Structure 1
Amino acid sequence: MVLKPHVAINVKDLNKSVVFYTQLFGVEPVKVRPGYAKFDLEQPALNFTLNEGGEVSGGLNHLGIQVKSTEDVLVAKERLQKEGLATFDEMNTTCCYARQDKIWVTSPDGHRWEVFTVLADAEEKSNDSPVCCTLDEPKQIETDCCS
């Protein structure tokens, strides 16, 4: 049996979101209909759908794609920047009880996505990450948010 997680999110503007997620995932959606788009991803294995309308923030903190190495994080960063997306780096940071290297991008609806690798386990949830798992309110991630 093949297991593939499914994530469905609400978006304000389907067209803008399709462009963003095509850039993020590096593939076109397999289905686009009025108010709906579906990405059927192989890597990571994910059935990801966009539904236009409804509440977009809900209780979602952030989403992520875990990769094998810091090199893979940097390859993703380069690809996303070539697509015109602004990225925010967090290298050697503590987040969610792990030491990680990561980059962040933010969707048109404010959904925060990280591409990350875990370097080591950590005893603390977060002590040096300005955009990590402890944020009470989602915010737009910008390159100057730490200054």
Structure 2
Amino acid sequence: MRPHLSLDVRDVPASVEFYRKIFGVAPQKQTKDYAKFDLTSPPLNFSLVSSTGRVSTVDHLGIEVESAAEVAAWKTRLQTAGILDHVEENVACCFARQDKVWFSDPDGNAWEIFTVHEQLAVDGPLTKTGCCVPEADGRGAKTCQAGA
């Protein structure tokens, strides 16, 4: 099984260049208004579709990896590409203790690469868990601000 995710984007070529840096591979298919990445790691059928009106928005997207070493490798990769937004190490967030790195795509969708060290008790509202919550900045992109 492999999930499929299709995002409406403003500029397919710009988004392709961004996601090529993220995933380290070129799209399997690409036209001016469409691109498809057939990924094996993470296993994902990921496409970008040109939209003149709306762009896809979600709270955030994420890729869970197996270890803190993998998060550290992603951190280096994102820093090298100049697209690392925020780092969280050993944080209690979303009822789990985690390491995370965050970045945002050209349309402002926030992504996290994370690993879970341990599950924590589900107690109280999410806003009180210390989560890093993506929040719009003045340019429409998302940055990560600690939740209250």
Q: Does TM-score exceed 0.5, indicating one fold? A: yes
TM bracket, shorter-chain basis = 0.7 to 0.9
**Structure 1 residue 55: deviation in Å?**
2.0
Overall identity of the aligned pairs, in %: 42
**Separation in 2 of the partners of 1:91 and 1:139?**
23
Select which of 33, 36, 41 maps to 1:35: 33
**Cα root mean square deviation, aligned:** 2.2
Q: How many residues align?
A: 139
Does the CA-based 8 Å contact 2:95-2:129 persist in structure 1?
no
Within 5 Å, give how 1:1-147 maps onto structure 2: 3-53=1-51, 54-58=53-57, 60-124=58-122, 125=126, 127-131=129-133, 140-141=142-143, 145=145
Return the TM-score normalized by structure 2: 0.84
Structure with greater proportional strand content = 2
**Separation in 1 of the partners of 2:77 and 2:117?**
22
**Separation in 1 of the partners of 2:136 and 2:106?**
20
Does the CA-based 8 Å contact 1:11-1:109 persist in structure 2?
yes
Give the AA of the match of 2:89.
M
Return the TM-score normalized by structure 1: 0.84
**Structure 1 residue 85: deviation in Å?**
1.3
Structure 1 stretches lacking a partner, 5+ long: none
**Structure 1 residue 87: deviation in Å?**
3.0
Structure 2 stretches lacking a partner, 5+ long: none
Going from structure 1 to structure 2, the CA distance change for 1:18 and 1:136 (only over 3 Å counts) comes to closer
**Separation in 2 of the partners of 1:42 and 1:114?**
18
Runs of 4+ in 1 over 4 A off after TM superposition: 135-139
Match of 2:14, SS state, is helix
**Structure 1 residue 71: deviation in Å?**
1.0
